[in-house]
Amino acid sequence: MSNFWSGYIIVLTLIMLGLTLWLMFATRKGQRPEETEETLGHSFDGIEEYDNPLPRWWFMLFLATIVFSVIYLILYPGLGKFPGVLGWTQVGQYEEEVADAREQFAPIFANYADMTVEQVAQDQDALRIGQRLYAINCSVCHGSDARGAYGFPNLTDNEWIWGGTPDQIRTTLNQGRQAAMPAWLAIIGDDGVRSTAAYVREMAGLETDGVDTTLGAQVFNTNCVACHGPEGKGNALIGSPNLTDDVWLYGSSMLQIQQTLRYGRNGNMPSQAHLGEDKIHMLTAYVYSLSQGDNEAEQ
């Protein structure tokens, strides 16, 4: 915040507090100290307002709020760039709470630090911890049941775009993943897109909707084998999916595959390294356990 805007906020805030205080006393001086039967001379639906002063306790309550505001603005930030005499900040409060939490839970995570992912995945107490970490950090994309959605992988099966070993899962969590399916429309044209989509469906054992796949096979062998391989089984090293199974991240219909070929896909798995190695270890074990068929903590 610049000095100008800081000064603007300080001056405006103090002026408003001063005007509020003046308004309270100025209007109170003009009020009668005793109750009266006189009205203000207007009515609404037959209801008339007496010309009586504000009750003293009510006035004192308003006054107390102003005093509280002044004390608060002296102690805590609120007046532009003035930090307050206590030096409190949101960042400092957050870091303090995080430090307290780490100190409290560090012994729990330490119990599992020397265990392998496979061993942690067999511990039901550890899986319950991992499940909570998953619910907070992963469920918004992969779903509360980890079965994914359109554009988000199912984590409960044995089909993995980037690999499903503990080390591969850990790498995914630590580093994140970025999809790199390019758009092909400008290169292969509409006919190439249609024929290649049919050829890809043919590789997966699906109907080609009567489309000739000859051109599609040529396009695939020229442009697609570098990532998906000559048999279309993909490559976990670069995150290219297997095109011969029944698992489709963006759908397997002719229209959906053509959409993928025309415009590409740019899915992004964000890094979770901010969680720290102890939580990544637990989360890796939980995600790994989801595809092993014995995760009771998931239920």
Residue spans in the chain of domains classed CATH 1.10.760.10:
92-178+270-298, 185-266
Residue 176 has pLDDT above 50, yes or no: yes
Tell me what pLDDT residue 45 has: 83
Which whole number is the average pLDDT over 192-219? 96
- Whether the CB-CB separation of 119 and 281 falls below 8 Å is answered with no
Tell me what pLDDT residue 296 has: 42
**Listed range (21-25, 65-69, 205-209, 216-220) with the worst mean pLDDT:** 21-25
Per cent of the chain over pLDDT 70 is 95
Cα angle for residues 55, 61, 62 (degrees, 5° grid): 95
Question: What SS3 class is residue 268?
Answer: strand
pLDDT tens profile 27-43:
776 555 566 677 777 77
pLDDT tens profile 235-257:
999 999 999 999 999 999 999 99
- Whether the CB-CB separation of 283 and 116 falls below 8 Å is answered with no
- Whether the CB-CB separation of 66 and 21 falls below 8 Å is answered with yes
Q: Which residues are within 8 A (CB) of 189 and not within 5 positions of it... i.e. 6 or more apart? A: none
Tell me what pLDDT residue 48 has: 82
Cα angle for residues 162, 230, 186 (degrees, 5° grid): 85
**Listed range (14-28, 165-179, 223-237, 259-273) with the worst mean pLDDT:** 14-28
pLDDT tens profile 92-125:
999 999 899 888 888 999 999 999 999 999 999 9
Tell me what pLDDT residue 116 has: 96
Long-range Cβ contacts of 78-81 (<8 Å, 24+ apart): 78/13, 79/9, 79/10, 79/13, 79/14, 80/1, 80/5, 80/6, 80/7, 80/8, 80/9, 80/10, 81/1, 81/3, 81/6
Tell me what pLDDT residue 31 has: 57
Tell me what pLDDT residue 34 has: 60
pLDDT tens profile 70-84:
999 999 999 999 999
Strands (E), the chain: 39-44, 47-50, 177-178, 268-269
Predicted TM-score (pTM) of this structure: 0.71
> How many Å apart are CA 27 and CA 153, to the nearest integer?
66
Tell me what pLDDT residue 284 has: 97
Pairing of strands 39-44, 47-50: antiparallel
Q: Per residue in 31-68, is it b (16+ CB within 10 Å) or e — as a string?
A: eeeeeeeeeeeeeeeeeeeeeebeeeeebeeeeeeeee
For residue 62, the one-letter residue type is F
In words, the CATH class of domain 185-266 is mainly alpha
pLDDT tens profile 186-201:
999 999 999 999 999 9
Residue 297 has pLDDT above 60, yes or no: no
Which whole number is the average pLDDT over 2-23? 93
CATH superfamily of the domain spanning 92-178+270-298:
Cytochrome c-like domain (1.10.760.10)
Question: What SS3 class is residue 227?
Answer: helix
> How many Å apart are CA 261 and CA 152, to the nearest integer?
18
